[in-house]
Structures are given as structure tokens and as C-alpha cells.
Structure 1
């Protein structure tokens, strides 16, 4: 075992929500700006990293940025799920209408369609869901436009990820593991170096990507694929990024099936794809394994197990 390199990533958890966000505020915003929905009951509040949501009737939801940086995330969601979604056949939240600041709430907001299902962090997808997920990702991955956003965590080469990955690997190697599992550091290093050695696309070959397609944003209907939510991180990325996240949500056989369906749907000639997918998945899981967030830790070790780098402690 080796000492972990010096590295102190900032992980303070989600930002504090704007104090104006409440059931009463959401009700007032809807009633004053969208009277056509005034008779629909408002449900309980759900908080993600960027957005607070309230069910609106049975088929809709109110979506409110929780903090100032999330305003840009909502703008990305609106653009991407309207301008880019013409060929998408999977379920995702459609923007129904947009609202303006008011009632003490300072930012734009939106009403979107509600996509039913459980998140795959809690109800993982079956391996048999892999082909449907792979086809959905193929639909998302159109060539990124010149004005496509850059995601600071995901629009990266593997070389740009190397220092952080080695730090996280060293930390996990020295750690106590999780749920009876420990890191096989030798296998993890081999997997990472295989990714580093694989051919990579240039930035000009990046595709529009969800860029946050982990188990909390994949929907499951008792193990079958039910849709994709939370589009505010969408950006130009290596096509391997979205596929890599699947290790947090399904067995390795499902990821392999997703890759096969993806290759068939896109016809992409990318000999390094599988190696990059596994390396990026490894990095994400190693980073999440040390967070103080139980759901992320569970997804991380699920992914490490499916990547074949977690062994009985």
C-alpha cells in the first residue's frame, strides 16, 4: 500500500436553498402566473443539488432553482430538452411553461412534466435494461455545437483526471472499505492505466452529453429503464462519460449490453471506448467512495464491484 498524495477536494454538500422556497411560495407563483394550473394540488417538496421540486397534480411538477448558480442549470435544461430532444424516444421531463421571479422568489422557474419511476440509486436497473439505456444515450449523443457548454468535472481527458484519480485511489486503498468489500488497488491501477493508454477523441469530436448520468438521475420501474431526469449539467464531453456512469446503476452485464446497443445505434468507430468507459467509471467511483453521503458511497462501491476492483475484505 502507498500513502495517498496530498489532495483536499472541496465537498461541502448541496448549497443552501433560497429561504423563499416553500409550499406557500410555489402555490402563489403557480396561481398568479399560471392560473390554468391553479386547481391542481401541490405535493410535497423534493430537493436535489440544484433544484427544489413540488408535484403539481398527477402529471406535472414545479421546478425551482435552489441557489443562484442553479439558474444557469435551469436555462441549460430548458434549452437542451427543447432544442436537442426532437429524436428522443425515452421519457424525460418536458418543459411545459416557464415562470418569472415573484412572491419573494428571485429567479426564473419552470413547470415540467413529471416522469414516474424510482431512481436507480435506490432501485438499480436490471442487466436486461442495458439495451434500452444504450439506445437512449445514442439519441442524446449528437455532435456538440460550437457554443456547447464545458462541464468542469466531465469535459476532460483522462490525463487531466489522472492526479485526482491517483489521490482517490490511494485514499480508498488506505480506507476501511464498505459493506464487506475492499479495494483491489493493483487491479484498479491496471484498469486506470489501460484507459490512459486507449485512444481518445479530440475535443472537436465531443458529443452533447447528459454529463451526470449516475443512478440518481436514471429512473427505474422495478428494474426496467423508465427515463432520465436532471439535465442541468449537460455539456460537450467524450462519449465515454455518460456510458461510464452506468456502473453506478446496473450490473456490468447491463453496461456491456448498453455499449453494444450504443455501438449498433451510432455505428461509432471508437476502439478505445470500452477502456475509457471503465477508467472514467473507476475515477467517479473512487471519488464518491470517500464522500460523507451514504447514497453516493453505496453507488460507488456498487460500481467498484461491477468493475471487478472490489474484493471481499
Structure 2
């Protein structure tokens, strides 16, 4: 499945060639697809490893970022995160950095895997609070750790406006885009976020939260790792049921302005996802649409 015009094709043959050239001891292990997101393609390698390859040069920098910082962050976190075990180097066949990680057993968070959504929301709040309290270790947004979601909403307004217009065209009356735009504009009018910068995962949606025995077990995919204001970190809560969202709110003790800005970030990601992936990634469009509808339902109830 090709999602981007500048995407580098990847298949099992390519992955085996990379392994033969750089980690020959793994080259004959069983290899099978293990999922694909908007930025990376994954293959399970044997029982204990995962190969992760960026789709485009634009997202390739995230690989080196993970290789540099995840080993330093992991000892400071209670829950498991990916452990890089090989830093793949570019080749003629695949001109980007790539990685091999330890495999983490678990299933994506969802109605068939989570036992108690309120407890899950509280556990997620604990993970986020713990992550945000980690010392920056000298890292700043100028060190390759500057992602738009850790900054201010204002600079995003032009492309969010275009995405809202695209949603009006594609979704028609199926989605109240006008109401979403009102929520977006209301957040833009709020004071800028204040306080110190923190570590941000950047994309704590259910597919990046692994569950074991009904409970949150691990956090994966740190491609959006950055340093910045925490507001956008909370934006994926609208991908979770209301019970989880409320428990998270209560445990984080978030103020109304932070919540409104987090909701605006969720709108930005949702409408841009529909706009960009409308023809190429229907499952992701469905995910974005569900998020936006949850925002509208939640806003109407408050």
C-alpha cells in the first residue's frame, strides 16, 4: 500500500537483502509483515525482533532520533518502550536509516483487549505524567526534536483551514465541519501555552498503546518524539471511549484551556488526515472521522 508520492517501496526481499548485508546472523530468520502506519513499514523477524523502515526521506530522521534517545529514556519509564538493537545504515536499495528493535508482545488497545477503560485512562495518565517529568538531559526543540505538535496552534491555521475546506467537500453533511472549525477558532483565540517544555511522545493513539491481560503494557512508535508544550500530547484521547477520557482528565487535573487546545490539536490531525489520505488510506480516514465525531459529541455534552 503506497501512501506518499515519494515513498520508497519495501518488501520482504528488500528487508532480507538489508539483513544479509548488515546482520547476516538474522538473515534466515522467519520474516512476516507486522503492520504499516503512515510513516513506517514493519516486519516481525523471528520471535524476538521487529524491523522498522521509514516510508519516505521526510520521516527517515525519526529513526535516528529513536536510536539516540530511546535507550536513554527507557530506564526512566515504568512501562516498556521499543529497544533498538541495530541501527541500519542506508544502501543503494534503501537509501535511508532503518532499525531493528526487540519485539514487544501485546495487542493494540481496543474494545476486545481493554478490560476496564476507566482504569486504562488512569494508567495512560500515569504514563504521560511520568514521561513529562523526565529531565530533558540538555535536549531542546533545536536538536532535531522540534515537531509541530509541541508548538503553538497559530502557525498551523493555514493548512488546517485548507483541510477543513477539503473535509467540507469530501464529507458533505456527514460531518459537522462548521462546528469543528468553531472549536478550532476558539482555541486559536486562547492565550499561548505557558510553562516549561517537556518530553513528548507525540502520537499516543490506540495503535501505539499495547495491552496485556486487559491493561496498558507498553508504549510504541516514538517517531513523533519531541520537546515542547504538552497540550498536543492529550489530543489522542478522543480516540478512546468517554470513560477513559474522563479518567485521564481527572488524573491529569487538566485545566479548561489546556483541554481546549488539546481538542484543537485533535481536530487538526483529524481533518488533515482525511484531506491527505482520502484516496490512499481508507482505514485511516475512518479513524480520523471517528475521532472528529467523538470531539463533536463530547463538545455537545459539556
Does TM, normalized by the shorter one, top 0.5? Answer: yes
Task: Say whether 1:182 aligns with 2:179.
Answer: no
| Aligned counterpart in structure 2 of residue 63 of structure 1, from 49, 52, 57 | 52
1:5 maps to what in 2? none
Q: Is the CA contact (8 Å cut-off) linking 2:49 and 2:103 kept in structure 1?
A: yes
Distance in 2 (alpha carbons) for counterparts of 1:162 and 1:104 = 38
CA distance in structure 2 between the aligned counterparts of 1:277 and 1:172, rounded to whole angstroms: 20
222 and 244 in structure 1: CA distance in 2 versus 1, 3 angstrom threshold: farther
Structure 2 counterpart of 1:299: 287
Task: Report SS of the residue matched to 1:43.
Answer: strand
1:49–1:303: structure 2 CA closer, same or farther, 3 Å change rule? closer
CA distance in 1, matches of 2:285, 2:217: 23
| Structure-1 residue corresponding to 2:103 | 114
Q: Which range is displaced more, 289-298 or 51-60?
A: 289-298
When the two structures are superposed, what TM-score results if normalisation uses the length of structure 1? 0.75
Equivalent position to 2:235, from 244, 249, 252: 244
Q: Which of these residues, 256, 259, 262, is aligned with residue 249 of structure 2?
A: 259
Q: Deviations over 1:127-184 (max 9, x none)?
A: 3321122222223224652344354542331222334444444544565458xx5316
Verify the 8 A CA contact 2:193 2:229 in the aligned structure 1: yes
The one-character-per-residue Cα deviations of 1:232-262 (angstroms, maximum 9, x if unpaired) are 2211232111211221x21233123223333
Shift of 1:38: 5.2
State the TM-score, normalized to the length of structure 2. Answer: 0.77
Whichever structure has more helix as a proportion of its residues is 2
- 1:272 to partner: Cα distance: 2.4
Bigger CA drift: 150-159 or 86-95?
150-159
Distance (whole Å) between structure 1 residues aligned to residue 295 and residue 214 of structure 2:
20
User: 5 Å matches for 1:258-277?
Assistant: 258-263=248-253, 272-277=257-262
Query: 2:80 matched to 1:94?
Result: no
Indicate if the aligned counterparts of 2:150 and 2:200 stay in contact, CA closer than 8 A: no
Q: What is the distance in 2 between the residues matched to 1:26 and 1:170?
A: 40
Matches of 1:135 and 1:189, distance apart in 2? 31
Which residue does the alignment assign to 1:284? Answer: 269
Higher relative contact order (CA 8 A, sep 6+): 1
Does residue 132 (structure 1) correspond to residue 123 (structure 2)? The answer is: yes
Any unmatched runs of 5+ in structure 2?
none
Gaps in structure 1 of 5+ consecutive residues:
1-11, 264-268
Other structure's SS at 1:272 match:
helix
Would you say the 8 A contact 1:200–1:272 is kept in 2? no
Distance in 1, matches of 2:166 and 2:38, equals 25
1:14 maps to: 4
CA gap of 1:280–1:65, structure 2 versus 1, over 3 A, is closer
Distance 2:294 2:4 in 1: 28
- Tell me the residue number matched to 2:12: 23
Q: Could you say which residue in structure 1 is the equivalent of 2:202?
A: 211
The answer to whether the 8 A contact 1:285-1:303 is kept is yes
